[in-house]
Chain A
Amino acid sequence: MPMYKVKPVSPADIKIDLPTCMYKLPNIHAQGMNCGEHALQNGEVDPALKALEERQDEVLRRLYELKATVDGLAKTVTTPDADLDASTLSRGPAESVFRATADLDSLLGKDLGALRDIVINANPAHPPLSLLVLHALLCQRYQVLSSVHVHSSVSAVPPPLLSCLGPRHIDSYARQRFQLGFTLIWKDVSKLQMKFNTQSMYPIEGEANVARFLFRLLSAEPQDPVLATQMDCWIDTAVFQLAEGGSKERAVTLRSLNSALGRSPWLLGQEFSLADIVCACCVLRAGQTTSAPANVQRWLQSCQNLGHFDCVYPLLQ
């Protein structure tokens, strides 16, 4: 006989109104629970759970497909020349760069018999180094008529900036012999600006965005979307953290550059790309390249060896 007896506080068989909510847990106070518990502990799955899981997978897959279709649609609507449908992509090897000459008509619009002139307005206090590298690359692919002008809003510009696009082409008096025009105007602007076809195109602002546009003219964009995203990521890192960030952010970026370059000769792997151009220019502009990590220094040297960066070094003094 127990010493103390406590009177039951509540009757044992209360009628509980079970709520009809989404999830139902098995009653932990009920009998006959042991076999279920064991099953779970053994790794066998309760068939009800399995059905639930299957249903969830089905829903998620349908959701993913829907999202992919919408993304594809959005791309075809906003960028007429985008032919990439994200839902049908597969991880292929990155296309080798700089081999194909792009079809300028498809990229820049129909040739109406006039020189297609790309106009870039830049502030002489912040010369766009990556655009100069891209200009050198464009000159290798096409016949480019380059000219440098000083706008009346600027009173004087140091001589290296006037000759940054190289010597004047001998045939520069005959504009229609050239496929592309590259006009650089040193002007008192707050943000770098590119104008091409003012009737149908809004001006593009920001050195990184103009760099992306010019890179597309070289048709050397990586076709693999993962690589393309990585390239964009590196470009944004370079612009926002290397160029515009504080010394802490710069140090962090240099470290991540260092580790990325430890794995491969270029940032995106085996091929030189826009990411290397923009990052290298930002690193060079920030200065103190001698104190940069080892991989970064090796990579800068490789960039220089390519020859495209020759136009940049005279402007760094």
Chain B
Amino acid sequence: MQYRAGEEEQQAQSKKALKKQQKEAEKAAKKAEKQAKLAAEQQEADEDDFAKDRYGICPMVQSQQKLDRALVRVQDLTPEKAEQQIWVRARIHTSRAKGKQCFLVLRHQQFTVQALLAVGDRASKQMVKFAANLTKESIIDVEAVVKKVEQKIESCSQQDVELHVERIFVISQSEARLPLQLEDAVRPEGEGDEEGRATVNQDTRLDNRVIDLRTTTSQAIFRLQSGVCQLFRDTLINKGFVEIQTPKIISAASEGGANVFTVSYFKTSAYLAQSPQLYKQMCICADFDKVFCVGPVFRAEDSNTHRHLTEFVGLDIEMAFNYHYHEVIDSITDTMVQIFKGLRDRFQTEIQMVNKQYPSEPFKFLEPTLRLEYKEAVAMLKAAGVEMGDEEDLSTPNEKLLGRLVKDKYDTDFYVLDKYPLAVRPFYTMPDPNNPKYSNSYDMFMRGEEILSGAQRVHDAQLLTERAMHHGIDLEKIKAYIDSFRYGAPPHAGGGIGLERVTMLYLGLHNVRQTSMFPRDPKRLTP
């Protein structure tokens, strides 16, 4: 019996072994075939590649040599350069191979141009294949001849020309898998839903900010923001203001103890400045008369709203006046109007580019700026059916409604609301001389949202002490502040705006994170 079983086993084994052998033989045969094919292709490739030295991946640029080569920018590629052979450095926006041709779209900032590589006497099949396989976003150097086109290329910014590529080299290659596609990032929300194409949500954008900032919309937004800052500085310098820098590590919270970040400071702790308020005022007491400062502001508010950040750029103004704080309001509103005019006249391209993805109404304003009083605003709101007390602060929905009512009547997106009730303002606000319930304070609104809160400051040490006590503030903590008014202080007033908020509201965007390059909020600390 054993013998029989063993024999069967042996037979079974040999059957298995036979099958195994057969399989292996098949595999080997296939492999040999493949290898032979590859070898044949390789040989073919090597044989026919006459353009071998006109394309490739450059070694990493470690400043090996100083090439005296002029690179033309994509935005300068116009019909005037027709028939010229030039070098261009740009990113690959898209690449598409079609038989013997490869269409590339090269992009630099907001400008795109079409480039064509066709198999011919200048380019080999391998070169075209290489170009078609280049990953998106790679930075390449291209030598090409600029050619005029009869039919406008609608999809590119440079519509009248196209490049016929002679040489193509990769300077910096991008990984194949991108965390987000640029076309998706620029697609307007509605279009995405309609056509079933993807749009990128905000968190993904912010996590991959470096790529998101490459889109035309982002480029336009931040160039405009740079313009806001520039116009702010220029206008104030022309008005005789001095730019100052204030410390951000301070010993006492300026606005109130709740919303302040604490940092460890050697053996004790210190705070990050919530606003340059105290130092601006000290500069006025130090006879600088008109000052402004541009710097970060830190607010530890646990608000996750569309318009709050924990760190933002504050543009602050403080000015001594002669007899009435309206002199300061006029100065501030004139500065804002000059900023709006500058943006309207010099940044139309950027505004249009943003509007393509985020359509909105153009920003309207009056010159001189409209100034309404708080009582008028309450009357307008009451007439519109809102129930509120005369000395109540305006809630955010009420502010928005008021903005719409003002827009209806005066057709302006920017206005000042003067004479707020004293009870809702900080302790250093000067009370109204004729009515103790009101104060010499004002807010400015853009598109119905508050952008600036300002007031005439109390410049008398005694009144300041009284007001601080009334608000229950520890006098010891603000001793240095009160002391600065004891040695002669001019009457002064001022206010501050947030750069990100102003840019967001000017462009009609809906989230302040779109106008902050690397935003900080309670949930985000990187990038």
- The answer on a CB contact under 8 Å between B380 and A114 is yes
CA distance A166 to B412 in the complex (A): 24
- The answer on a CB contact under 8 Å between A175 and B373 is yes
- The answer on a CB contact under 8 Å between B364 and A152 is yes
- The answer on a CB contact under 8 Å between B411 and A187 is yes
Which residues of A sit under 8 angstroms from B405, Cβ to Cβ?
198-199
**At the interface, yes or no: A185 with Cβ under 8 Å from chain B?**
yes
8 Å CB contact of A175 from B363, B376, B378? B376
Residue of B nearest to A115 (CB): B376
Within the complex, the shortest CB–CB distance from A17 to chain B, in Å, comes to: 74
- The answer on a CB contact under 8 Å between B367 and A199 is no
8 Å CB contact of A115 from B363, B364, B365, B373? B373
Which residues of A sit under 8 angstroms from B388, Cβ to Cβ?
none
Within the complex, the shortest CB–CB distance from A183 to chain B, in Å, comes to: 7
Task: With A112-B379, A113-B379, A175-B373 as known contacts, state yes or no: A153 contacts B364, CB within 8 Å.
Answer: yes
Q: How many residues of B contact A (CB 8 A)?
A: 30
8 Å CB contact of A195 from B344, B372, B376, B409? B409
- The answer on a CB contact under 8 Å between A197 and B366 is no
Sorting the interface of chain A by its residue count into under 10, 10 to 19, 20 to 34 or 35 or more gives: 20 to 34
**At the interface, yes or no: A150 with Cβ under 8 Å from chain B?**
yes
- The answer on a CB contact under 8 Å between B411 and A114 is no
Residue of B nearest to A185 (CB): B366
Which residues of A sit under 8 angstroms from B344, Cβ to Cβ?
152
- The answer on a CB contact under 8 Å between A150 and B367 is yes
**At the interface, yes or no: B408 with Cβ under 8 Å from chain A?**
yes
**At the interface, yes or no: B30 with Cβ under 8 Å from chain A?**
no
CB under 8 Å from chain A, chain B span 404-438: 405, 408-412
Which residues of A sit under 8 angstroms from B408, Cβ to Cβ?
195, 198
Residue of B nearest to A151 (CB): B366
Task: With A151-B411, A198-B405 as known contacts, state yes or no: A112 contacts B370, CB within 8 Å.
Answer: no
CB under 8 Å from chain B, chain A span 214-256: none
Which residues of A sit under 8 angstroms from B60, Cβ to Cβ?
none
**At the interface, yes or no: B368 with Cβ under 8 Å from chain A?**
yes
Within the complex, the shortest CB–CB distance from B176 to chain A, in Å, comes to: 48
CA distance A185 to B412 in the complex (A): 11
CA distance A173 to B440 in the complex (A): 12
- The answer on a CB contact under 8 Å between A149 and B373 is no
CA distance A61 to B244 in the complex (A): 88
**At the interface, yes or no: A119 with Cβ under 8 Å from chain B?**
yes
Task: With A149-B367, A151-B366, A152-B365 as known contacts, state yes or no: A121 contacts B373, CB within 8 Å.
Answer: no
Which residues of B sit under 8 angstroms from A198, Cβ to Cβ?
405, 408-409
**At the interface, yes or no: A302 with Cβ under 8 Å from chain B?**
no
CA distance A285 to B365 in the complex (A): 30
**At the interface, yes or no: B45 with Cβ under 8 Å from chain A?**
no
**At the interface, yes or no: B222 with Cβ under 8 Å from chain A?**
no
Which residues of A sit under 8 angstroms from B409, Cβ to Cβ?
117, 119, 195, 198
Which residues of B sit under 8 angstroms from A119, Cβ to Cβ?
409-410
Within the complex, the shortest CB–CB distance from A176 to chain B, in Å, comes to: 6
**At the interface, yes or no: B306 with Cβ under 8 Å from chain A?**
no
Which residues of A sit under 8 angstroms from B375, Cβ to Cβ?
113-114, 176
Task: With A152-B344, A152-B363, A199-B383 as known contacts, state yes or no: A183 contacts B376, CB within 8 Å.
Answer: no
Residue of A nearest to B377 (CB): A114
CB under 8 Å from chain B, chain A span 32-87: none
Q: 1/0 contact trace for B38-78 toward A, CB 8 Å?
A: 00000000000000000000000000000000000000000
Q: 1/0 contact trace for B102-122 toward A, CB 8 Å?
A: 000000000000000000000
CA distance A191 to B372 in the complex (A): 26
Which residues of B sit under 8 angstroms from A183, Cβ to Cβ?
410
Q: 1/0 contact trace for B355-390 toward A, CB 8 Å?
A: 000000001111110111101101110111000000
Q: List 10 A-B contacts (CB under 8 A).
A: A112-B383, A114-B373, A117-B409, A149-B366, A150-B366, A151-B365, A152-B365, A175-B372, A195-B409, A199-B405
- 3 closest cross-chain pairs (CB), A and B: A114-B379, A114-B376, A112-B379
Residues on B facing A (Cβ under 8 Å): 324, 326, 340-341, 344-345, 363-368, 370-373, 375-376, 378-380, 382-384, 405, 408-412
Q: A150-B366, A150-B367 are in contact. List 20 more A-B contacts (CB 8 A).
A: A113-B379, A114-B373, A114-B376, A114-B378, A114-B379, A115-B373, A117-B376, A117-B409, A119-B409, A147-B368, A149-B367, A151-B365, A152-B341, A152-B367, A173-B326, A185-B366, A187-B411, A195-B409, A195-B410, A198-B408
